[in-house]
C-alpha cells in the first residue's frame, strides 16, 4: 500500500536533506524506500532524511537516515535545518530548542541573523567510543589502506570520523580513498572520512566522504571532528573557519570535555509530496 509523504527539502552549506514531520504523519519507511527517495534521478535526491518526532526528555526527537537507508546517531548540518524547520512549521515558539538524538541531547539555536548555532556536545576521543580498533588512545593513528599507510585522527561527535591532513583538498583522492576508509575493518560501524587542508591555525578547507552517503558538499559533524583533531595535534586554534565546497561553517572548542559549538546556515528550498 502506498502513502503520500509530505516533506521539506532543505540544505545546510550544500549538505541536503528532506525533513519529515513525524509528529503529524507516522513514519514507516523501509531502508529500501529511503534509498529510492534519496536517488538523485529516480527519487527526490538527498544526503540524509531527517525525522522530527516527540520526545520525553527534550523538546523534540531527531532521527537521521543516510541515503543508503542506514539510521545514524548524529548530523550537524541537519541539526541546523531541524531548528529552522521547527520554527518555520510553528512546532515551537522557541528559537533555541533541546533535541534528543541517539547520541545525546544537542541544542540548536536560530540566531537573529538567520544563522544557526548548535552545541554539539563534547567530542569523544577514546577509541572504544568512536568506535575504532586501536591498542591505546592517541591523537593520531597509522591506518593501512589501499596498499598505503595514512595518518588519521579518530573522533566521534556521536558519529565516527577518520580525519587526515592533506596538502590540497582539491586534488585529494576523496572518493577513491574515502570509499575504502569508510569500510575499513578497524571501524566496526564504518566511518566518515575527512580530508583537511590547513590554511592557517584559524582556517581549514575540508572535504568529507560520508558514511552511507558518499562525498557531500559539507559535513557538520565532520567539520567539528576535523577542528577537534587539528587542535589536538597542535595545528589549529579555536575558533576555526571551515571552508567546505558548499559553504562555510564556524567551529569553536575549548578542549577537554567542553562542547563543540558549530555555527552555519540552514535553508528551506521547497516543500513537496510524493507517493511512496
Ligand atoms: N553520514 C553521517 C551522518 C550525517 C553527517 C553529516 N551530514 C553532518 O552534517 O554531520 C554518518 O553516517 O555518521
Confirm or deny that 66 is annotated as ligand binding. Answer: yes
Which of 219, 223, 236, 240 is flagged as catalytic?
219
Query: In the prediction, which pLDDT does 2 show?
Result: 83
Q: E strand or H helix at 53, and its extent?
A: strand 48-53
Confirm or deny that 93 is annotated as ligand binding. Answer: no
Question: Do residues 240 and 224 lie in contact, with contact meaning Cβ atoms separated by under 8 Å?
Answer: no
Cell (9 digits) for 151: 595518518
Q: Say whether pTM exceeds 0.95.
A: yes
Residue 75 annotated to the active site: yes
Q: For ligand 1, say whether the CB of 103 is within 6 Å of any of its atoms.
A: no
List, in order, residues 6 or more apart from 149 with CB less than 8 Å away: 142, 143
Cell (9 digits) for 18: 528532506
Q: How far apart are CA 97 and CA 77, in angstroms?
A: 15
Look at ligand 1, atom 3, and give the residue with the nearest C-alpha.
Answer: 75
Look at ligand 1, atom 13, and give the residue with the nearest C-alpha.
Answer: 159
Domains of the chain as residue ranges with CATH: 4-117+265-275 (3.10.310.10), 127-258 (3.10.310.10)
The number of beta carbons lying within 10 Å of the beta carbon of residue 167 is 8
Q: Return the SS3 of 25.
A: coil
Query: In the prediction, which pLDDT does 57 show?
Result: 98
State the ipTM, two decimals. Answer: 0.98
Query: In the prediction, which pLDDT does 28 show?
Result: 86
Q: How far apart are CA 177 and CA 175, in angstroms?
A: 6
Query: In the prediction, which pLDDT does 31 show?
Result: 97
Q: How far apart are CA 162 and CA 259, in angstroms?
A: 19
Over its length of 276 residues, how does the chain's per-residue pLDDT go in tens digits? 788 999 999 999 999 999 999 999 988 899 999 999 999 999 999 999 999 999 999 999 999 999 999 999 999 999 999 999 999 999 999 999 999 999 999 999 999 999 999 999 999 999 999 999 999 999 999 999 989 999 999 999 999 999 999 999 999 999 999 999 999 999 999 999 999 999 999 999 999 999 999 999 999 999 999 999 999 999 999 999 999 999 999 999 999 999 999 999 999 999 999 999
Which of 75, 125, 227, 249 is flagged as catalytic?
75
Amino acid at each position: 500500500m502506498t502513502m503520500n509523504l509530505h516533506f521539506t527539502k532543505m540544505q545546510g552549506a550544500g549538505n541536503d536533506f528532506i525533513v519529515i514531520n513525524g509528529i503529524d504523519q507516522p513514519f514507516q519507511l523501509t531502508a529500501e524506500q529511503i534509498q529510492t527517495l534519496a536517488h538523485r534521478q529516480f527519487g527526490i535526491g538527498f544526503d540524509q532524511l531527517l525525522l522530527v518526532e516527540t520526545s520525553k526528555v527534550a523538546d523534540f526527537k531527531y532521527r537521521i537516515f543516510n541515503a543508503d537507508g542506514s539510521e545514524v546517531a548524529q548530523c550537524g548540518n541537519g541539526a541546523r535545518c531541524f531548528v529552522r524547520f521547527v520554527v518555520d512549521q510553528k512546532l515551537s515558539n522557541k528559537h533555541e530548542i533541546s533535541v534528543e538524538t541517539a547520541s545525546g541531547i544537542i541544542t540548536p539555536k536560530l540566531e537573529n541573523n538567520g544563522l544557526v548555532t548548535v552545541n554539539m556536545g563534547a567530542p569523544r576521543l577514546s577509541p572504544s567510543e568512536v568506535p575504532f580498533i586501536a591498542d591505546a588512545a592517541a591523537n593520531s593513528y597509522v591506518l593501512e589502506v589501499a596498499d598505503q599507510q595514512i595518518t588519521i585522527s579518530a573522533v566521534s561527535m556521536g558519529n565516527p570520523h577518520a580525519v587526515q591532513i592533506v596538502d590540497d583538498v582539491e586534488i585529494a583522492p576523496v572518493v577513491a580513498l574515502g570509499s575504502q576508509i569508510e569500510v575499513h575493518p578497524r571501524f566496526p560501524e564504518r566511518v566518515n572520512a575527512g580530508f583537511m587542508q590547513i590554511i592557517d591555525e584559524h582556517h581549514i578547507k575540508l572535504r568529507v566522504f560520508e558514511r552511507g552517503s558518499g562525498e557531500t558538499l559539507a559535513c557538520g559533524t565532520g567539520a567539528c571532528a576535523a577542528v577537534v583533531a587539528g587542535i589536538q595535534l597542535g595545528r589549529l586554534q579555536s575558533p576555526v573557519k571551515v571552508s567546505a565546497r558548499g559553504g562555510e561553517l564556524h567551529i569553536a572548542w575549548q578542549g577537554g570535555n567542553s562542547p563543540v559549538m558549530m555555527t552555519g546556515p540552514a535553508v528551506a528550498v521547497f516543500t513537496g509530496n510524493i507517493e511512496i
